[in-house]
């Protein structure tokens, strides 16, 4: 029977009762979609092919010799948990609309992708999400990218060796248009963080039973249907069994110096003192640096950080409606919009991102996030989130303001902040904080099934 993408129950991928179509899906699905793959060190290659036969042969060879299935990845995760044995590196491939055309698919063929956003490509969607003009993007992203190759592992030497091998196998007709390098950052507690110093990667939709079973579910259920990330692969031998996912890639530069200055200015304007000054940054992000949700506590610490919460009992006097994690995941609705985020930080730091160094000691550029997210629909997930939530100053309430972290567009609306946590004592309306994250370029890709790639 066809894979039920709408089933809300988590996938018991190793169950003896799994039907043949679901088994085939797992054997032909790329890893890192259903469950995040280790990619503490990451290399991202952007390729242009230029020759149909050579492009196909390269992808076929890559998929046959260097890429594993989602099932293999899940088996490796289980083996590592049981025996401490490390798995193999991650190699993933995404193809753009232009890439499919260059591989010989007709315009009519490409229409089989039901997602208009993918068919348009990122350069033609600037107005919808308030992105900068293309001529302001970095050179790599101004060009016509056909494919992205992702290489990830826990060890940098493994990634470097595999990168060299893959580049060496590119046909003479192909071009390496550019590349990015990502490396995970962690605070002293070992939690993954982003460049503003906050714990990141929480509140992910989960799809496999192994992960869901480990999570508390009293207030918020982390289990999501496969439809949030999977769609049938229209060019695969059997789309009923062979699936892929729409991948968003965006390079987001973070002005850490400016953001840290804004935290201090907000704390000053609200008259916050002592440890309560940390609440200023938490109101922008929605969490304290250690990941503690602002809606749950007025300060960081006090035990393990739980992801089992909602905003239902918070009228904005604890966590403002504009707080980043509240804007992009309201929790009580919009579950069908959530994406599986698989990004990685980039850039070198000479300071410690988690400490209390003054803003002038922070980088003002050249660091940020390689944002990557898998979607079942770019229209109703990524672009909806960016346009209707992050960039919308009236979501969830009038004059809520933009998402302070990733919101784009004119921030003319004045906003208020709670002066005291949990009490209806609001500041006077004031200007929103300035934008400190700049989109430097990107593209939309489809991450096809291994069945498609191996049959090119």
* Residue 213 falls in the annotated catalytic set: yes
Q: How far apart are CA 204 and CA 210, in angstroms?
A: 14
- From 79, 109, 213, 356, active-site residue: 213
Residue of 174, 176, 181 lying closest to 151 (CA atoms): 181
Q: What is the CA radius of gyration of the chain?
A: 22
**Start-to-end C-alpha separation, the chain:** 26
- Within 10 A of 424 (CB to CB), how many other CB atoms are there? 10
Q: How far apart are CA 91 and CA 150, in angstroms?
A: 5
User: Where does residue 320 rank: exposed (0-12), middle (13-18), buried (19+ CB within 10 A)?
Assistant: buried
What are the backbone angles phi and psi of residue 346, rounded to the nearest 5°? -135, 160
C-beta separation of 38 from 429 below 8 A: no
- How many residues in total does the chain contain? 456
C-beta separation of 254 from 343 below 8 A: no
Catalytic residues: 213
């Amino acid at each position: 029977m066809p894979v039920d993408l709408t089933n809300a129950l988590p996938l018991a991928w190793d169950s003896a009762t799994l039907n043949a179509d679901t088994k085939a899906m797992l054997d032909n699905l790329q890893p890192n979609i259903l469950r995040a793959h280790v990619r503490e060190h990451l290399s991202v290659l952007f390729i242009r092919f230029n020759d149909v036969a050579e492009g196909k042969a390269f992808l076929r060879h890559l998929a046959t010799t260097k890429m594993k299935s989602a099932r293999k990845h899940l088996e490796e995760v289980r083996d590592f948990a049981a025996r401490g044995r490390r798995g193999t590196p991650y190699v993933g491939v995404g193809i753009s609309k232009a890439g499919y055309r260059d591989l010989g698919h007709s315009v009519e063929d490409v229409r089989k992708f039901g997602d208009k956003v993918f068919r348009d490509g990122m350069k033609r969607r600037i107005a919808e999400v308030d992105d900068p003009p293309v001529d302001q993007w970095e050179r790599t992203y101004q060009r016509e990218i056909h494919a992205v190759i992702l290489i990830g592992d826990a060890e940098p030497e493994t990634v470097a060796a595999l990168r060299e091998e893959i580049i060496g196998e590119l046909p003479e007709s192909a071009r390496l248009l550019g590349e990015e390098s990502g490396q995970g950052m962690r605070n002293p507690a070992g939690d993954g963080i982003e460049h503003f110093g906050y714990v990141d990667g929480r509140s992910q939709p989960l799809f496999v039973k192994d992960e869901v079973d480990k999570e508390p579910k009293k207030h918020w259920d982390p289990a999501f249907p496969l439809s949030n990330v999977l769609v049938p692969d229209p060019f695969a031998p059997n789309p009923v069994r062979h699936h892929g996912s729409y991948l968003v890639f965006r390079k987001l530069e973070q002005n850490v110096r400016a953001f840290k200055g804004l935290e201090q200015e907000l704390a000053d304007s609200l008259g916050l003192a002592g440890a309560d000054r940390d609440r200023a940054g938490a109101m922008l992000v929605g969490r304290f640096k250690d990941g503690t949700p602002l809606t749950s506590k007025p300060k960081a610490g006090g035990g393990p950080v739980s992801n089992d919460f909602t905003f239902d009992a918070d009228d904005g006097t604890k966590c403002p409606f504009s707080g980043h994690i509240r804007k992009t995941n309201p929790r009580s609705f919009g579950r069908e919009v959530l994406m599986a985020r698989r990004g990685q930080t980039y850039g070198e730091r000479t300071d410690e991102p988690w400490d209390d160094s003054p803003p002038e000691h922070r980088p003002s550029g050249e660091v940020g996030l390689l944002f990557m997210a898998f979607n079942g629909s770019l229209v109703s997930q990524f672009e909806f989130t960016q346009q209707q939530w992050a960039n919308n100053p009236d979501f969830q309430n009038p004059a809520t303001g933009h998402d302070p972290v990733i919101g784009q567009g004119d921030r003319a609306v004045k906003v208020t902040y709670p002066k005291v946590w949990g009490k209806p004592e609001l500041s006077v309306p004031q200007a929103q904080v300035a934008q400190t994250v700049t989109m430097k370029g990107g593209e939309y890709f489809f991450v096809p099934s291994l069945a498609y790639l191996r049959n090119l």
